[in-house]
Amino acid sequence: MDWTIWLEWFLKGLILCLLLLTGFAYLTLYERRALARIQIRVGPNRAGPQGLLQPIADAIKLIFKEELTPAKVYRFVFILAPVLTVVPSLIIAAVIPLGTSFMLFGREITLYVANLNVGVLYLMSIASIAVYGIVLAGWSSNNKYAMLGGIRSSAQMISYEISLGLCFAIAILLGNSMNLNDLVEAQRNIWFVVVQPAGALVFMFVVLAEVNRAPFDMPEAEQELTAGYHAEYSGMKFALFFMAEYQKMIVVSMIGATLFFGGYREPWFMTGWLNGLFSVDRFWFLGPAYLFIKVILLLFFMIWIRATWPRIRYDRLMALGWKILLPLTLVIAFITATGILLQQELNNPLFYWSIPILSIICLLAAVAFIYRDLRRKSHGRF
C-alpha cells in the first residue's frame, strides 16, 4: 500500500469525473443538434465551428446568472439538494469498467476505478439514493408545484426501481456474477442483448423513468408543474440539476452497454476478423472507443424517444410500471433462470435459445395488452 496506489486511484477518479463533466457539456450540444435535425431545424451552430463551443458559452452564462434564494425555503436542505443530486450521478460510474488495462511506467493501469465484487448491487444502491436530491429539492422550495414534482419523482423512481432490479438480475443470471468486469468477460462469445432482447429493451425504458427523461419526465412536466422540483432554483444550483440529469443519462447508457451490449468488448463476431485486429485483447485503447460508440448510440436512442413520443399521463405511468413492467420483468427473469438451469442440467443448448424466443413472446403479449387497454379506455371513458 504505497503512495503510488493512492495516486493512481486519485487520478483515475479525477479523470472519470472530468470525463463525465465534459460528457455532460457535449451531451447538451449533441441533444440539441439531434433534436433539431429530427425537427428539420439547424440547432445551435453559431458558437465555434458547428456550434462546438456552445457548451462553454452556456456554462459562462449560467455562472454569471443571478442566484435567487426564495424567502421561506428550508435553507440548509435547499442548498444540500442539488449536491445530493449530482454526487450519486458521479460516483455511480466508479464500478463501470472502461476497458482492460495497459502498461505505464512499468505498472499495470486498469481501466476502472473500483473492481467491486458486488458491483451491480452498488449500482442499485446508488441509484436508489439518487432520489433524495429531487425529493428534498421539491420539499425545501416551499412551493406547491415543486413539492408535487418531488412527490411524483419519489413515487415514480421507487416504482420503476423494482423492474430495474429485476433487469439487473437477468444480467446477473446470464453472466453468473455480480462483478461488472466478469459480466463484460462473460459477453465475450455473445452479447446478452441477443440472449435476452426483451430484458435489454425493458431496461432501456425503465432507466428512462429512473433518470426522469421524456416520455417519463413527470417531475418537471412544464404544462402541469411549471418546472416541477427545480422551479425555485436558478443560476448554478439549477445548473447542478441540469448536470445531474445529463450525467445520469451518460451513466445509465454506460450501464446498459455494460450489462447487455458487451461493455468495452468488440462485437462478438468481430473478434476473429483480420487476425484479431479489432479485438480489445490486442489493443487496449479499442476498449474505451467501443464503449464510447455504444454510449453514443444508446444516448441517441434516448434523444430519439424524446423527440418523437409525447409525455404519458401520470396514472398511466404508474399503471405501466406496476401492472405491465413488473409482471413482465418477473416473467422474463423466471424464463431466463429456468432456461439456464435446464441447459446446465440437461446439457442441451436448445433450452438456452428458448430464452430469447419466449421472452419476445412475453414482450409482445405485454405490448398487445397495453394496446387493448388504451383502446378500451379511450372508448369507455369519453
Residues that bind another protein in the complex, under the rule CB under 8 A: 74, 77, 116-118, 121-122, 124-129, 131-132, 135-136, 138-139, 147, 150-151, 154-155, 157-158, 161, 178
Handedness of CA 184, 156, 215, 226 (dihedral sign): negative
CB of 50 or CB of 125, closer to another protein: 125
CB of 155 or CB of 221, closer to another protein: 155
CB 134 within 8 A of CB 227: no
Q: Which residues pair with 103 in a beta bridge?
A: 108
Least separation in angstroms between residue 140's CB and another protein is 8
Place of cell 432456461: 339
CB of 129 or CB of 201, closer to another protein: 129
Least separation in angstroms between residue 361's CB and another protein is 29
Three cell numbers at 124?
A: 442499485
Angular region, 234: left φ>0, alpha ψ -120 to 50, beta rest: beta
Least separation in angstroms between residue 84's CB and another protein is 10
For 128, 152, 275, 305, the CA distances from 141, given in Å and listed in that order, are 22, 15, 60, 31
Least separation in angstroms between residue 165's CB and another protein is 8
Least separation in angstroms between residue 351's CB and another protein is 22
CB of 120 or CB of 243, closer to another protein: 120
Helix, strand, coil abundance in the chain, percent, nearest 5? 75, 0, 25
Angular region, 106: left φ>0, alpha ψ -120 to 50, beta rest: left
CB of 2 or CB of 66, closer to another protein: 2
CB of 34 or CB of 92, closer to another protein: 92
CB of 90 or CB of 127, closer to another protein: 127
Least separation in angstroms between residue 177's CB and another protein is 8
Least separation in angstroms between residue 131's CB and another protein is 6
For 82, 95, 101, 318, the CA distances from 234, given in Å and listed in that order, are 11, 32, 42, 30
Least separation in angstroms between residue 60's CB and another protein is 34
Least separation in angstroms between residue 230's CB and another protein is 16
CB of 169 or CB of 198, closer to another protein: 169
CB of 146 or CB of 299, closer to another protein: 146
CB 207 within 8 A of CB 256: yes
Q: Which residues pair with 102 in a beta bridge?
A: 109
For 53, 55, 57, 76, 79, the CA distances from 48, given in Å and listed in that order, are 5, 10, 10, 40, 34
DSSP 55-116: HHHHHHHHHTS-----TTS-HHHHHHHHHHHHHHHHHGGGG-----EEEETTEEEES-S---
Three cell numbers at 47?
A: 458558437
CB of 131 or CB of 291, closer to another protein: 131
DSSP 148-207: HHHHHHHHHHHHHHHHHHHHHHHHHHHHT-S-HHHHHHHTSSS-HHHH-HHHHHHHHHHH
Least separation in angstroms between residue 161's CB and another protein is 7
